[in-house]
Structure 1
């Protein structure tokens, strides 16, 4: 059961990105270079992207449950899985709370920037929750890999966090949609790689093993 939950984190990213790509190529009037991906949730075919957000988010929540089973007790076992769960919750928020129409999409929408509604604001908050929470999660997992002296993984964790935060918070609005798509691909790829690594077995940190050994060792009394 644990490994099945972890595999949810492997399939979630490709499922999301493939669904977005198909829609970007087939939805009339959509231009990925200037339209936010969230606009795909609007219009007659908007249910596809709504389902994409929601299903992908649920898969990451399931992956978080699998990681919790695999990593506790131990470093990153307490905070790492919930932060991956936060990624899932942010995506579900993106499906439940729709963004506001604008930039000429869907066809007939105003050409300029949209007027932000309460549900549009919550949609944007979901993206912020997802990117920020999982970036913090990368640093939590870096701590565990550092204790294991897996320096390649430490580098990957740190590089993922920096890249995602830089791409998602870049102030220039031009090309923002492409940057967010790239940030999503990096983040999803990291979670997939982490899930596969954990299914193969992730040893605990030496310090933690010594602590557990001391707790289990009998106390000699004289």
Structure 2
């Protein structure tokens, strides 16, 4: 069954902004992969391998590597891309408290990733305590991103569940946290965390596509 959602012209700006995370998410994932390859000697000095020690703070530790500027920029760009999705999420979901919670949690995720651009401290690579304000901020934002990544899709699913044309978005969003947990608990080390990032930005991209489209399959 196909339902068409007609949006007033005033919502066009939100749909146009939804283009941004479709670009910034893949750019971030590519940056992490390329930076890791170019910084392989640096990573190897800490015993990093793709399926190795999941306790190493990768990809955050790339910010202290030979191409650290790229990782700092990557976090900032990826987070701002998610923040640019907020008007579209607000326009897409029906009014109500659940929508406000969903928009807030997606915004929290974007803020957390953006502020992760604050470099971690070298001590944190070996699981030590942060010694600077930016190291502390980075550590806190990691927790913020994990929390919002698990809860934002659920809030979107709850807000969309009874809206004609958004049933598929509700289903995908409800299943997303389960996929995130499976990736993190896969015992594949850093590869599992990278899969988590792919799934997370994949979900963000899917929401962006839903926000931009006018036709839904219910």
TM-score for both structures, normalised by structure 2: 0.75
Match of 2:179 among 163, 168, 192: 163
The answer to whether the aligner puts 1:128 opposite 2:158 as a matched pair is no
1:65 Cα deviation (Å)?
A: 3.1
1:59 Cα deviation (Å)?
A: 1.2
1:193 Cα deviation (Å)?
A: 0.7
Root-mean-square deviation over aligned CA pairs: 2.7
1:23 Cα deviation (Å)?
A: 0.8
Match of 1:183 among 177, 193, 196: 196
* Greater relative contact order structure (CA < 8 Å, 6+ sep): 2
CA contact (8 A) 1:98 1:120 kept: yes
Match of 1:98 among 120, 123, 127: 120
CA contact (8 A) 1:2 1:70 kept: no
- 1:190-209 maps to which residues of 2 (within 5 A)? 190-201=203-214
CA contact (8 A) 2:120 2:139 kept: no
Q: Mark the runs of 5 or more structure 1 residues left unpaired by the alignment.
A: 104-112, 204-222
TM-score for both structures, normalised by structure 1: 0.74
SS in 2 for 1:77: helix
1:176 Cα deviation (Å)?
A: 3.7
Question: Comparing 148-157 with 87-96, which one deviates more in the overlay?
Answer: 148-157
The answer to whether the aligner puts 1:145 opposite 2:160 as a matched pair is yes
SS in 2 for 1:96: coil
CA distance in 1, matches of 2:102, 2:122: 32
| Larger CA Rg, structure 1 vs 2 | 1
